[in-house]
Protein backbone atom coordinates (compact mmCIF):
# COMPACT_ATOMS: atom_id res chain seq x y z
CA UNK A 1 0.00 0.00 0.00
CA UNK A 2 1.34 3.43 -0.91
CA UNK A 3 2.35 5.88 1.79
CA UNK A 4 2.55 9.65 1.45
CA UNK A 5 4.59 11.92 3.71
CA UNK A 6 2.32 13.60 6.30
CA UNK A 7 -0.72 12.66 4.25
CA UNK A 8 -4.06 12.50 6.04
CA UNK A 9 -5.57 9.02 5.57
CA UNK A 10 -9.01 8.06 6.85
CA UNK A 11 -9.50 4.54 8.23
CA UNK A 12 -12.97 2.97 8.11
CA UNK A 13 -12.83 -0.29 10.04
CA UNK A 14 -15.50 -2.86 10.77
CA UNK A 15 -16.65 -6.41 10.35
CA UNK A 16 -18.18 -5.85 6.87
CA UNK A 17 -19.92 -9.17 7.32
CA UNK A 18 -21.35 -8.49 4.79
CA UNK A 19 -20.70 -4.90 3.63
CA UNK A 20 -24.12 -3.24 3.38
CA UNK A 21 -25.63 -0.23 1.67
CA UNK A 22 -25.06 1.64 4.94
CA UNK A 23 -21.35 0.89 4.69
CA UNK A 24 -21.38 2.18 1.13
CA UNK A 25 -23.02 5.39 2.27
CA UNK A 26 -20.28 5.90 4.85
CA UNK A 27 -17.57 5.17 2.27
CA UNK A 28 -19.15 7.68 -0.09
CA UNK A 29 -19.26 10.31 2.67
CA UNK A 30 -15.61 9.63 3.52
CA UNK A 31 -14.57 10.01 -0.11
CA UNK A 32 -16.50 13.27 -0.13
CA UNK A 33 -14.02 14.76 2.35
CA UNK A 34 -11.42 16.22 -0.05
CA UNK A 35 -8.67 16.79 2.51
CA UNK A 36 -8.03 13.05 2.89
CA UNK A 37 -5.56 11.61 0.40
CA UNK A 38 -7.01 8.11 0.76
CA UNK A 39 -9.78 6.20 2.50
CA UNK A 40 -8.73 2.77 3.75
CA UNK A 41 -11.58 0.32 4.34
CA UNK A 42 -10.20 -2.18 6.85
CA UNK A 43 -12.08 -5.36 7.83
CA UNK A 44 -11.30 -6.62 11.32
CA UNK A 45 -10.43 -10.10 12.44
CA UNK A 46 -12.29 -11.92 15.20
CA UNK A 47 -12.79 -9.68 18.22
CA UNK A 48 -13.83 -10.22 21.82
CA UNK A 49 -17.31 -8.96 20.97
CA UNK A 50 -17.61 -10.40 17.47
CA UNK A 51 -16.78 -13.68 15.73
CA UNK A 52 -16.77 -13.71 11.94
CA UNK A 53 -18.62 -16.60 10.33
CA UNK A 54 -17.18 -16.29 6.83
CA UNK A 55 -13.61 -16.41 5.58
CA UNK A 56 -11.52 -13.26 5.55
CA UNK A 57 -11.16 -13.72 1.80
CA UNK A 58 -14.93 -13.51 1.35
CA UNK A 59 -15.20 -10.18 3.16
CA UNK A 60 -12.26 -8.77 1.24
CA UNK A 61 -13.74 -9.91 -2.05
CA UNK A 62 -17.13 -8.33 -1.28
CA UNK A 63 -15.40 -5.05 -0.45
CA UNK A 64 -13.38 -5.22 -3.65
CA UNK A 65 -16.60 -5.78 -5.61
CA UNK A 66 -18.04 -2.65 -4.03
CA UNK A 67 -14.93 -0.70 -4.95
CA UNK A 68 -15.10 -1.95 -8.53
CA UNK A 69 -18.81 -1.66 -9.25
CA UNK A 70 -20.11 0.99 -6.85
CA UNK A 71 -17.11 3.33 -6.77
CA UNK A 72 -15.69 2.78 -10.26
CA UNK A 73 -12.32 1.68 -8.83
CA UNK A 74 -11.81 5.09 -7.21
CA UNK A 75 -8.05 5.44 -6.77
CA UNK A 76 -8.48 7.10 -3.35
CA UNK A 77 -10.36 4.06 -2.02
CA UNK A 78 -8.13 1.26 -0.69
CA UNK A 79 -9.35 -2.11 0.61
CA UNK A 80 -6.83 -2.95 3.32
CA UNK A 81 -6.12 -6.37 4.84
CA UNK A 82 -3.82 -4.79 7.45
CA UNK A 83 -5.82 -5.77 10.53
CA UNK A 84 -6.37 -9.31 9.24
CA UNK A 85 -2.65 -9.94 9.67
CA UNK A 86 -2.56 -8.83 13.32
CA UNK A 87 -2.84 -11.27 16.25
CA UNK A 88 -6.41 -12.08 17.19
CA UNK A 89 -8.68 -11.16 18.79
CA UNK A 90 -8.05 -7.71 17.30
CA UNK A 91 -8.33 -4.63 19.49
CA UNK A 92 -8.51 -1.03 18.34
CA UNK A 93 -5.61 0.30 20.40
CA UNK A 94 -3.33 -2.43 19.06
CA UNK A 95 -4.37 -1.71 15.47
CA UNK A 96 -3.75 2.01 15.95
CA UNK A 97 -0.31 1.37 17.43
CA UNK A 98 0.63 -1.04 14.63
CA UNK A 99 -0.49 1.41 11.94
CA UNK A 100 1.48 4.28 13.44
CA UNK A 101 4.57 2.11 13.89
CA UNK A 102 4.55 0.98 10.26
CA UNK A 103 3.42 4.28 8.70
CA UNK A 104 4.94 7.00 10.87
CA UNK A 105 4.71 9.44 7.96
CA UNK A 106 0.90 9.21 7.68
CA UNK A 107 -1.56 11.36 9.61
CA UNK A 108 -4.23 8.78 10.44
CA UNK A 109 -7.87 9.62 11.14
CA UNK A 110 -10.44 7.02 12.20
CA UNK A 111 -14.13 6.68 11.42
CA UNK A 112 -16.63 5.79 14.15
CA UNK A 113 -20.35 5.89 14.67
CA UNK A 114 -21.57 8.06 17.52
CA UNK A 115 -22.55 4.98 19.52
CA UNK A 116 -19.02 3.56 19.19
CA UNK A 117 -17.51 6.86 20.28
CA UNK A 118 -19.72 7.01 23.34
CA UNK A 119 -18.88 3.41 24.22
CA UNK A 120 -15.11 3.87 23.98
CA UNK A 121 -14.57 4.24 27.76
CA UNK A 122 -15.54 0.56 28.04
CA UNK A 123 -12.82 -0.55 25.57
CA UNK A 124 -9.27 -1.50 26.52
CA UNK A 125 -7.44 1.85 26.62
CA UNK A 126 -10.66 3.38 25.34
CA UNK A 127 -10.38 6.66 27.25
CA UNK A 128 -6.92 7.15 25.77
CA UNK A 129 -8.28 6.52 22.26
CA UNK A 130 -11.25 8.78 22.82
CA UNK A 131 -9.07 11.69 23.85
CA UNK A 132 -6.17 11.25 21.42
CA UNK A 133 -7.45 9.98 18.06
CA UNK A 134 -8.27 12.16 15.08
CA UNK A 135 -11.82 11.08 14.25
CA UNK A 136 -14.65 11.38 11.77
CA UNK A 137 -17.83 10.63 13.71
CA UNK A 138 -21.12 9.78 12.03
CA UNK A 139 -23.90 11.09 14.22
CA UNK A 140 -27.21 9.37 14.76
CA UNK A 141 -30.29 10.88 16.40
CA UNK A 142 -29.73 13.56 19.02
CA UNK A 143 -26.24 12.53 20.06
CA UNK A 144 -24.13 15.04 21.96
CA UNK A 145 -20.65 15.05 20.46
CA UNK A 146 -17.72 17.17 21.68
CA UNK A 147 -16.47 20.21 19.80
CA UNK A 148 -12.83 19.46 18.96
CA UNK A 149 -10.50 20.38 16.13
CA UNK A 150 -9.55 16.73 15.72
CA UNK A 151 -13.17 15.57 15.34
CA UNK A 152 -15.20 15.95 12.13
CA UNK A 153 -18.92 15.30 12.56
CA UNK A 154 -21.12 14.06 9.72
CA UNK A 155 -24.73 12.94 9.54
CA UNK A 156 -26.17 10.31 7.21
CA UNK A 157 -29.73 9.96 6.03
CA UNK A 158 -30.50 7.00 3.78
CA UNK A 159 -29.32 3.72 5.35
CA UNK A 160 -27.96 4.85 8.71
CA UNK A 161 -29.77 2.19 10.74
CA UNK A 162 -29.16 -0.76 8.41
CA UNK A 163 -26.97 -3.47 9.97
CA UNK A 164 -25.01 -6.43 8.69
CA UNK A 165 -26.98 -8.56 11.15
CA UNK A 166 -30.18 -7.87 9.21
CA UNK A 167 -28.48 -8.81 5.95
CA UNK A 168 -27.17 -12.07 7.42
CA UNK A 169 -30.59 -12.99 8.79
CA UNK A 170 -32.19 -12.29 5.41
CA UNK A 171 -29.62 -14.49 3.66
CA UNK A 172 -30.06 -17.23 6.27
CA UNK A 173 -33.85 -17.13 5.75
CA UNK A 174 -33.37 -17.17 1.95
CA UNK A 175 -35.13 -13.80 1.68
CA UNK A 176 -34.28 -11.21 -1.01
CA UNK A 177 -31.16 -9.20 -0.25
CA UNK A 178 -32.22 -6.12 -2.18
CA UNK A 179 -32.28 -3.19 0.19
CA UNK A 180 -29.50 -4.69 2.28
CA UNK A 181 -26.53 -4.99 -0.09
CA UNK A 182 -25.64 -3.93 -3.62
CA UNK A 183 -26.16 -6.27 -6.57
CA UNK A 184 -22.56 -7.43 -6.88
CA UNK A 185 -22.42 -8.38 -3.20
CA UNK A 186 -25.85 -10.02 -3.44
CA UNK A 187 -24.66 -12.20 -6.33
CA UNK A 188 -21.48 -13.10 -4.45
CA UNK A 189 -23.39 -14.12 -1.30
CA UNK A 190 -25.76 -16.27 -3.35
CA UNK A 191 -22.97 -17.84 -5.40
CA UNK A 192 -20.92 -18.69 -2.31
CA UNK A 193 -24.02 -19.68 -0.30
CA UNK A 194 -22.90 -17.47 2.57
CA UNK A 195 -24.79 -17.03 5.86
CA UNK A 196 -27.19 -19.91 5.26
CA UNK A 197 -26.38 -21.83 8.45
CA UNK A 198 -24.93 -19.27 10.87
CA UNK A 199 -26.25 -15.90 12.05
CA UNK A 200 -24.02 -13.68 14.13
CA UNK A 201 -25.79 -11.53 16.71
CA UNK A 202 -23.76 -8.34 16.38
CA UNK A 203 -23.34 -6.38 13.14
In this prediction the pTM is 0.91
Rounded Cα–Cα distance for residues 20 and 12 (Å):
14
Helix axes 56-70, 183-192, angle to 10 degrees: 150
Rounded Cα–Cα distance for residues 37 and 180 (Å):
29
Rounded Cα–Cα distance for residues 188 and 155 (Å):
30
What tens digit of pLDDT does each residue of 144-195 get?
A: 788 899 999 998 876 656 899 999 999 999 999 999 999 999 999 999 999 9
Return the sign of the alpha-carbon dihedral for residues 190, 192, 195, 198: positive
Q: Which domains are assigned to the chain?
A: 7-161 (3.40.50.620)
Rounded Cα–Cα distance for residues 195 and 171 (Å):
6
Q: 153 has which bridge partners?
A: 137
What tens digit of pLDDT does each residue of 5-47 get?
A: 568 999 999 999 999 999 999 999 999 999 999 999 999 988 7
Amino acid sequence: MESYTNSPVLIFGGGFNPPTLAHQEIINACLGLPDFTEVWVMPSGNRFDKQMNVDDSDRLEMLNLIKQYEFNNNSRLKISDFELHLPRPTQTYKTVAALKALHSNIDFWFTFGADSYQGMPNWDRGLELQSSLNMVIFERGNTDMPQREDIIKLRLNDHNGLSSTEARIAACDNRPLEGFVCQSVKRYIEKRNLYRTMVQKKS
